[in-house]
Amino acid sequence: MRLLERDDAGEFNLTKDLIDQDKIPPYAILSHTWVADEEVVLEELKNGTGKGKPGFHKIKFCGDQAERDGLRHFWRLSQTEPHPEQIQQAHEPHPEQIQQAHELALSQREPA
């Protein structure tokens, strides 16, 4: 499982793969509707090229809200599945980890 981490400058970074459940920090979950060709995919998160995509505002909103709630980490969950190649690359949390997470509600189209 990998989380997004918001740094003090408001930028986002992917954590390393968090394997040991005792080391997983508290995190928020961004649940949203996947919009084809608008969402930031894993490779774009890794190399920082997704900031110009329309879906980036969802990630920024979640990171900003997580910070207001005292959290640095968050994870995103789309309501429909992306392409199979992206699913293979994703590291999804286990149900017990989701139960431990702080949830953030985000409407389908939150203003930027």
Rounded to whole angstroms, the Cα distance separating 69 from 3 reads 16
**22-45 core/surface letters (b: 16 or more CB in 10 A; e: else):** eebeebbbbebeeeeeebbbbebb
Q: What is the pTM of this model?
A: 0.63
Q: Per-residue pLDDT tens for 11-36?
A: 888 888 887 766 888 888 877 777 88
Rounded to whole angstroms, the Cα distance separating 106 from 58 reads 8
Longest dimension (CA), the chain: 36
Q: Per-residue pLDDT tens for 66-109?
A: 899 899 998 876 545 455 554 444 445 545 544 444 443 333 33
